[in-house]
Amino acid sequence: DIQMTQSPPSLSASLGETVSIECRASEDIYSNLAWYQQKSGKSPQLLIYYASSLQDGVPSRFSGSGSGTQYSLKISGMQPEDEGVYYCLQGSKYPRTFGGGTKLELK
């Protein structure tokens, strides 16, 4: 199975601050990487797919980059509604595997 290592496990950011979350795959996943945001008690919401494509309706302050085994999610200007847990998901092979999550809080 492909292992997804996500960092950091938690993060605190001030309003307007730029935030980055990293995800490393145990093998090349050829940009088949998605990012999700999950708010408390809700299902995950798709933010980014194919490493850098923005899902319809997602604010442009969210962006993704990376290739091979290294990927990142950037939030350019933290907003209160961005609080939640963020997960990466590899879509290269089955079983699909998720990163361990990054809890993002507003400082």
Partner 1 sequence: QVQLKESGPGLVQPSQTLSLTCTVSGLSLTSNSVSWIRQPPGKGLEWMGVIWSNGGTDYNSAIKSRLSISRDTSKSQVFLKMNSLQTEDTAMYFCARNVPGDPFDYWGQGVMVTVSS
Residues that bind partner 1 (CB under 8 A): 1, 32, 34, 36, 42-46, 49, 55, 87, 89, 91, 94-101
CB of 101 to partner 1, least distance (A): 5
CB of 20 to partner 1, least distance (A): 20
CB of 34 to partner 1, least distance (A): 4
Dihedral sign for Cα atoms in the order 26, 31, 11, 85? negative
- DSSP code of 27? S
Name, in order, each residue with C-beta under 8 angstroms of 106's C-beta and a sequence gap of 6 or more: 12, 13, 14, 15, 78, 80, 82, 83
Closer residue to partner 1 (CB): 49 or 62: 49
CA 65 remoteness from chain centre: 10
Closer residue to partner 1 (CB): 17 or 45: 45
Closer residue to partner 1 (CB): 42 or 107: 42
